[in-house]
Amino acid sequence: MEPLLEAIFTSAVDGIVVIDARGIVRAFNPAAERLFGYLAGEVVGQNVSLLMPSPDREQHDRYVASYLETRIPRIIGIGREVRGRRKDGSTFPLHLSVGQATVDGQPTFTGILHDLSGRVVLEQRLAEQKSLAKLGEMAAVVAHEVKNPIAGIRGALEVITARMPAGQRDRGVLVDIIARLDALNRIVQDMLMFARPRALRAEAIALETLMTETAAMIKRDPLLHELEIHVDGSARISGDREMLQIVFQNVLMNAAQAMEGKGRVDVSIVHIDSRCRVTIADHGPGMGHDVREKAFDAFFTTKHRGTGLGLPIAKRVIEAHGGSMAIDAPASGGTSISIELPSN
């Protein structure tokens, strides 16, 4: 390869893969190595289907043979979106443009591969923002049409209940109705918080103090008197105390419920460069991979009663603080939730 062509091939930002008429890879540039995780020596001499998931993997050679016979292109000279397969087996979106040339009298095909992963993520975020905007409109209507009537009904029932003798049978029915109205009101509150979170009010926060206060608040629940929450470490951040307390309360309550209100929850706070990490680990039955994949999806829940908005709200709040949130299920058991935030 001439020096100029060699320089272009080596320095190209997009992946370049050259194959012959049999689909055998003849050249594989450094950008392609970064895309697929293979070294050139692992790919050159192999069939290009190595870089494809099914069903393209099985159909590629037949497509090349069909093109050489009919000259009817499906990608050549046109380009389209396809999926590539990395060395680790994962797949990702690509835009593939293919050109044909003749080298030493034999047809040769050059593929230019552009990674679309970033664009796909952006499109997903835009779609999510659009959905959240619609949800926000719906939540505002719900708040106006449902929240206020709920408060009025609840107030009237409380007055009636207070006038009834403590031992009257119907009094228990009214108390149960009030409890159900409170649950419905919490659903409306969660929808509003998820769809239209308020602007953050930043202040200096000692994380260990906030976490200890939140743990003490949770342990006031009589059903959780056998729960132990151990907080270790310290860090100072700038953030919205009220919103972060909602995050920690949601995560700690999930941990408590996973252990049926008994056992120990370990909370560690550590500094990592200019960030701090809060890890909340329970010793419950753990969380399966399929559940972890959906845990931050709005309205997904494994609980008999729940809105499925606790973790999605928590994630939105943490991201609004410039942080991140992740779930892990250690081999030793239980579930571990890590929250990273910028530290002071």
* Spatial contact of 316 and 191, defined as CB atoms under 8 Å apart: no
The pLDDT of residue 74 is 65
Centroid of chain to Cα 227: 29
The pLDDT of residue 105 is 83
DSSP state of 22: T
Cβ within 8 Å of residue 330, ≥6 positions away = 281, 336
What is the rounded distance in angstroms from the CA atom of residue 147 to the CA atom of residue 187?
10
The 10s digit of each residue's pLDDT in 23-57 is 899 999 999 999 999 999 999 999 998 999 887 77
Domain boundary assignment for the chain: 3-115, 120-195, 203-342
The pLDDT of residue 329 is 83
Residue 78 has pLDDT above 80, yes or no: no
Residue 1 has pLDDT above 60, yes or no: no
What CATH topology corresponds to 3-115?
A: Beta-Lactamase (3.30.450)
Q: Give the burial class of 167: count Cβ atoms within 10 A of its Cβ; 0-12 exposed, 13-18 middle, 19 or more buried.
A: exposed
Residue 73 has pLDDT above 70, yes or no: no
- Integer CA distances (angstroms), 192 to 53, 215, 240, 336, in order: 42, 25, 18, 27
What SS3 class is residue 106?
A: strand
Side chain identity, residue 95: H
Residue 133 has pLDDT above 90, yes or no: no
Residue 112 has pLDDT above 80, yes or no: yes
The DSSP annotation for 139-196 comes to: HHHHIIIIIHHHHHHHHHHHHHHHHS-TT-HHHHHHHHHHHHHHHHHHHHHHHHHHHS
Do 3-115 and 203-342 share a fold? no
Residue 113 has pLDDT above 90, yes or no: yes
Residue 145 has pLDDT above 70, yes or no: yes
The pLDDT of residue 198 is 76
Residue 324 has pLDDT above 90, yes or no: yes
| Whole-number percent of the chain with pLDDT over 90 | 35
Strand 336-342, strand 324-328: pairing? antiparallel
**Any alpha helices (H) in the chain, and if so which ranges?**
3-11, 30-36, 40-43, 56-70, 117-142, 148-163, 169-195, 207-219, 241-258, 289-294, 310-320
Backbone angles phi, psi at 6, to 5 degrees: -60, -40
What is the rounded distance in angstroms from the CA atom of residue 328 to the CA atom of residue 336?
5
Centroid of chain to Cα 35: 23
The 10s digit of each residue's pLDDT in 258-295 is 888 888 999 999 988 889 999 999 988 888 888 888 88
Could you name the CATH architecture of 120-195?
Orthogonal Bundle (1.10)
- With CA atoms as reference, report the closest residue to 261 among 226, 231, 286: 226
Residue 144 has pLDDT above 70, yes or no: no
Side chain identity, residue 261: G
**Considering the chain, what is the average pLDDT of its residues?**
85
CATH of domain 203-342: 3.30.565.10
What is the rounded distance in angstroms from the CA atom of residue 252 to the CA atom of residue 267?
9
Residue 230 has pLDDT above 90, yes or no: yes
Residue 124 burial (CB count, 10 A): 10
Residue 215 has pLDDT above 60, yes or no: yes
The 10s digit of each residue's pLDDT in 174-210 is 888 888 888 787 777 777 777 677 788 999 999 999 9
Interaxial angle between packed helices 169-195 and 148-163, expressed in degrees from 0 to 180 and rounded to the nearest 10:
160
What is the rounded distance in angstroms from the CA atom of residue 234 to the CA atom of residue 268?
8
The 10s digit of each residue's pLDDT in 151-184 is 888 889 888 888 888 778 788 888 888 888 887 8
When pLDDT is averaged across residues 91-98 and rounded to a whole number, the result is: 90
What is the rounded distance in angstroms from the CA atom of residue 240 to the CA atom of residue 321?
8
- Integer CA distances (angstroms), 215 to 207, 245, 303, in order: 12, 10, 22
The pLDDT of residue 206 is 93
Copy the structure tokens of residue 204: 């200096």
